[in-house]
Amino acid sequence: NAGVTQTPKFQVLKTGQSMTLQCAQDMNHEYMSWYRQDPGMGLRLIHYSVGAGITDQGEVPNGYNVSRSTTEDFPLRLLSAAPSQTSVYFCASSYSWRGKAQPQHFGDGTRLSIL
Amino acid sequence: DQQVKQNSPSLSVQEGRISILNCDYTNSMFDYFLWYKKYPAEGPTFLISISSIKDKNEDGRFTVFLNKSAKHLSLHIVPSQPGDSAVYFCAASGDTNAGKSTFGDGTTLTVKP
């Protein structure tokens, strides 16, 4: 039972490079989200999706792109990496409303450093 | 403007005693609140939640209290155990999608044996 799987776990990039953070879930969850966590801070929502083919922006979307072609996968693309994007990135998934807001299941994060 | 605030960055308690973690929010549109627990190098895991139509929800050693008029909630852990040592995040959601939750900055709980 894998849950939410994020790859890679660690990555170092140079300014201006692009890359894709992968996220996959095997729980058939409708909702998926990407957050970033900076030191001493909470999680801030980057982008989210309520189902395949549907995405929307969160609190801090600039510099990131997402797509959701399948229920299972929700990749996050950094278009041109900047040092301000150095952070820990978490992917999460959850069921849609079931009479109450469903809790999110998180991956273990990708630690990204931009030099 | 931070909509969800956890004003205590850290809390230290003795094993067996009560731990009380606090959370304040400013947005009156929030109607669902969740607590997550996070160990180092792992993702957060869901602990307990409460709907705005309730003022208390209990699950084993964990109880969450909600005071809507004060826009305040608290998580009580009784009795505290060393394995409870972790970062605790309060999160609030304004619609049916908890995936759009707004998180506080977290409180690091240390339970001493």
* Average pLDDT estimate for A44-72: 94
Of A50, A59, A106, the CB nearest to B43: A106
Residue A18 is predicted with a pLDDT of 95
Mean pLDDT of B81-109: 88
Looking at the partner chain, which of A32, A43, A96 has a beta carbon nearest the beta carbon of B103? A43
- Please compute Rg for chain B using Cα positions: 13
B99/A107 CB distance under 8 A: no
pLDDT for res B99: 67
pLDDT, position B50: 94
- Please state the length of chain A: 115
**Are B98 and A104 an interchain contact pair (Cβ–Cβ within 8 Å)?**
yes
Percent of chain B whose pLDDT exceeds 70: 96
**pLDDT at position A25 over 70:** yes
Q: Which of A43, A87, A90, A108 has the highest number of chain B CBs within 10 A, making it the mutation to test binding with B?
A: A43
Would you place residue A74 in the very low, low, confident or very high pLDDT band (cuts 50, 70, 90)? very high
What tokens does A101 get?
């807001």
Question: From CA A60, how far away is CA A85, in angstroms rounded?
Answer: 11
pLDDT the model gives residue B97: 63
Cross-chain Cβ contact B42/A41 below 8 Å: no
Q: Calculate mean pLDDT across residues A27-33.
A: 93
pLDDT at B100 over 90: no
List all residues 6 or more positions away from A5 whose beta carbon is below 8 Å from its beta carbon.
A22, A23, A24, A25, A26, A107
Distances in Å between the Cα of B71 and the Cα atoms of A10, B52, B68 are: 38, 10, 5
Average pLDDT over residues A6-35: 96
